[in-house]
Amino acid sequence: MSRTWTRLGGALGALLLLGGCLSPPPGPDGRVDPDPLQGSNRAVFGFNEGVDRWVLNPLAEGWEFVTPKQLRVALDKAFFNLGFLDRFFSNLGQGKPKYAGTETLRFLVNTTLGLAGLFDPASRFGIPRTDEDFGQMFAVWGLGSGPYWVLPLFGPSNPRDAWGLLFDSALNPVSNPATGLVVPGLGLLATVNRRAILDPQIESLRESSVDLYVAVRDGYRQRREAQIADRDFEEERALDGPSDDLYEVPEDLEDSPQDEGGIPGDGEPASRRGGS
Amino acid sequence: MEAGRRARTGGLLLGLAALAATASAASPASAEAVAEARQVVVETVQSVLGILRDRALSDDDKRQRIEQVAYQRFDFPTVSRLVLARNWRRLTPRQREEFTQEFKQHLSLTYGKNVERYADEDVAVDQARAESNGDVTVRTRVLGGAAEAYLVDYRLRRGGGEWGIIDVIVEGVSLLQNFRTQTQELIQDVGPEGLIEKLRKKNEARSASAGG
């Protein structure tokens, strides 16, 4: 695990230095390529899918076979509870001392009454959990995400979130490589347990997508934007949807299919469109 | 994120049922429309949960019934148009028809798949809000699964006197946007015919596995 980390650190450093230069310029048609690293990203994505298929998912299935659901849910809560410091500091760093406070309260309550976090009485007492991390904090500071970047083993990310992940992992005993020396396999157990819990969602995504790679990329982007913006239900109204034209049917949609001249945003130049 | 939302709505976490009653008053003119759309979501959720919990039904029966609910509640012609957006023009009338059909089946299969994954979750229907273009968004929370509770928003549009679902937004991720991105890139790479073919193959494989 820690060797992976060292290597990842090196790669990260290099990429972060390049981060500024990698921000994609708009193309000739004014559109920004959502995925300039697509070639290598798809390769790494394929690798991660392979790891999941041959290693992680079999482990998760075995784990599911030998443990009751309640235990998996409780363990997942306990691992989440251990991520307290990460959420505490990223809340503080975003100027949300109040939520840093509720996180502290949650940690105290759940670690004691909740038996090391296996249970979540804090939620029952009306102390809500927050879902903050260093990638979000950097975004709030004004750091751009940079290009979509699929990390080996860690999955969908971008230079900003990968940088955040370093801090997240250092602050979380479950993923901190040093913990591995004291409690070997803790990080692996947390990962396998989480994989088992999320299995329905992962399976559903695989089945319901026509291009899983693109579905994951777009889902990651949307999810991160929602987490960073932290809008409540009423605030979303002003936004009126994830993108301006998402819910508008273009006026002249019923036109004959033959006219496909230079409509802005109509897609790629004819040369790139494959024949059918 | 959760914290912000809940603290600002000013309520104790568990008093969300009360919120639902007050928050639908988006603007006076459309308050009635908002309530109507919310009711559609309440009924949809109730019928789906009713089917999932019905012990007298076989899994196949359940799946079929849930697919029927999807057929009834989703506005597939509008969803298909919004997914394809400007690419709609690139399709011949026949391709449009085919895409709409395949897409309809794709979504319904996805919806029906809930049968296998259902693990006694409950769904709470919370607030609703009017959007500026006349749509209504209704917030629901899925509770009690293995994973932590999560938010699912339904966006509805009135067409032909009835409210139909045109988007499902899971924790900030719009499925409409997600499908649009996928289809746009596929049309760029393999053209409309390639996209329809891919959907068709996926549907065939899934129907086969769902049936057996």
**Each residue of B62-73: pLDDT tens digit?**
999 998 998 899
Task: Please name the member of A73, A219, A247 whose beta carbon is closest to the beta carbon of B146.
Answer: A73
Report how far apart, in Å, the C-alpha atoms of B62 and of each of A88, A227, A232, B146, B198 are: 45, 35, 35, 22, 27
Q: Which residues of A touch B130 (CB under 8 A)?
A: 237
Residue A4 tokens read as 């992976």
Residue A197 tokens read as 């819990």
Report how far apart, in Å, the C-alpha atoms of B104 and of each of A76, A215, B109, B147 are: 36, 18, 9, 28
Question: Which whole number is the average pLDDT over A200-218?
Answer: 93
B162/B127 Cα distance (integer angstroms):
20
Let me know: does A216 contact B114? Beta carbons within 8 Å.
no
Closest-CA residue in chain A for B132?
A240
- Of chain A residues 136-165, which have a CB less than 8 A from chain B? none
Residues A112-138: pLDDT tens digits?
999 999 999 999 899 999 999 999 999
For residue A208, the surrounding DSSP H or E stretch is: helix A199-208
Closest CA to A226 of B5, B25, B192: B5
Q: Where are the alpha helices (DSSP H) in B13-168?
A: 16-23, 31-53, 59-73, 76-84, 93-112, 114-117
Residues B173-206: pLDDT tens digits?
999 999 999 999 999 999 999 999 999 999 998 8
Measured between its terminal Cα atoms, the distance across chain B in Å is: 42
Let me know: does B145 contact B156? Beta carbons within 8 Å.
no
Instruction: State which amino acid sits at residue A116.
Output: A
Instruction: State which amino acid sits at residue B87.
Output: N
B17/A265 Cα distance (integer angstroms):
43
Task: Please name the member of B129, B176, B199 whose beta carbon is closest to the beta carbon of A246.
Answer: B176
- A263 at B interface, C-beta within 8 A: yes
Q: Answer whether A130 sits within 8 Å of B174, measured CB to CB.
A: no
Question: Which whole number is the average pLDDT over A262-268?
Answer: 40
Task: Please name the member of B1, B193, B195 whose beta carbon is closest to the beta carbon of A227.
Answer: B1
A239/B67 Cα distance (integer angstroms):
32
pLDDT band at residue A245 under the 50/70/90 scheme = confident
Let me know: does A192 contact B151? Beta carbons within 8 Å.
no
Q: Answer whether B89 sits within 8 Å of A257, measured CB to CB.
A: yes
Percent of chain B with pLDDT over 90: 59
How distant is the alpha carbon of residue B211 from its chain centre? 23
